[in-house]
């Protein structure tokens, strides 16, 4: 994989899978700028501290990003154990706001990779709601829609990962046709990260034990990062609008 002469912006760069994406991207020759609310714990070519739950903070962060970059990896996210408003803001509305704000900085052939989840796999069951949310324009309009259509706390993580998949499917076609930018999702299963325990709490012991019998083990972050960066590379120049599972085959066991 050759990423030399590419500049990549990675959100959630300070820990977890985002940090693994940073390490591998720099190993393959990319210039990497991280964006996170926490200080970085690894080497970067640039870093912007930002709270992705607030549109004003996102706008301020965008002003500090490079004037041109080739890929955006939206790896930042919070688990469903935090308040549903924060889940909505970080995992969907903030991601969308940041992405739309940087489109003019990305040249033709650029790539956007969004982090969905295996837990977003049932998006079709709520397709109409997700399309309505996707049709809202801007952060504030999205909040207004959610106020009128509240999402239960217990399923908020799944809902916003589903919503992200649907938005990616829809927006990717427009971006590819109008700007020659590609947008895709990756959908990891369980991963050994600092927030793995939050997912055990969120899903409940019974669901976790049922899934454990369907897989070899949770993934390591360095097993997720290569697929993400493949989608950023020129080798994936004709891959657009997909949701790529990276789960050791877990999702396939539900067919």
Catalytic one among 92, 157, 220, 254?
Answer: 157
The pLDDT tens digits of the residues spanning 224-238 come to 999 999 999 999 999
> 3-state DSSP call for residue 221?
helix
The pLDDT tens digits of the residues spanning 59-95 come to 999 999 999 999 999 999 999 999 999 999 999 999 9
Residue in 46, 151, 8, 172 with CA at minimum distance from that of residue 88: 151
Does residue 92 carry a catalytic annotation? no
Measured distance CA(87)–CA(214) in Å, rounded: 27
Domains of the chain, earliest start first: 7-239 (3.40.50.720)
According to the model, what pLDDT value does residue 194 have? 78
In whole angstroms, what separates CA 139 from the centre of its chain? 17
pTM for the structure as a whole: 0.95
Contact 196, 190 (CB under 8 A): yes
Share above pLDDT 70 across residues of the chain, in percent, rounded to a whole number: 100
Residue in 229, 240, 246 with CA at minimum distance from that of residue 1: 229
According to the model, what pLDDT value does residue 200 have? 74
Identify which has the larger pLDDT, 99 or 202: 99
Contact 39, 81 (CB under 8 A): no
The pLDDT tens digits of the residues spanning 155-199 come to 999 999 999 999 999 999 999 999 999 999 999 999 988 777 777
């Amino acid at each position: 994989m050759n990423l030399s002469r590419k500049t990549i912006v990675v959100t959630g760069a300070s820990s977890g899978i985002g940090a693994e994406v940073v390490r591998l991207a720099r190993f393959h020759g990319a210039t990497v700028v991280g964006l996170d609310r926490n200080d970085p714990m690894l080497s970067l070519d640039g870093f912007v501290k930002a709270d992705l739950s607030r549109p004003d903070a996102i706008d301020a962060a965008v002003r500090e990003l490079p004037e041109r970059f080739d890929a955006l990896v939206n790896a930042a996210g919070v688990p469903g154990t935090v308040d549903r408003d924060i889940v909505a803001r970080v995992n969907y509305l903030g991601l969308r706001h940041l992405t739309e704000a940087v489109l003019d900085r990305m040249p033709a052939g650029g790539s956007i990779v969004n982090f969905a989840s295996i837990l977003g796999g049932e998006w079709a069951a709520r397709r109409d709601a997700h399309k309505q949310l996707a049709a809202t324009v801007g952060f504030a309009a999205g909040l207004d829609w959610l106020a009128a259509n509240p999402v239960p706390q217990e399923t908020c993580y799944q809902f916003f990962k589903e919503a992200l998949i649907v938005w990616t499917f829809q927006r990717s076609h427009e971006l590819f046709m109008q700007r020659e930018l590609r947008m895709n999702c990756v959908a990891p299963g369980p991963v050994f990260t600092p927030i793995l325990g939050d997912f055990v709490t969120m899903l409940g012991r019974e669901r976790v034990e049922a899934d454990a019998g369907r897989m070899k083990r949770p993934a390591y972050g360095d097993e997720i990062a290569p697929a993400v960066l493949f989608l950023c590379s020129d080798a994936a120049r004709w891959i657009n609008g997909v949701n790529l599972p990276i789960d050791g085959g877990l999702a396939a066991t539900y067919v």
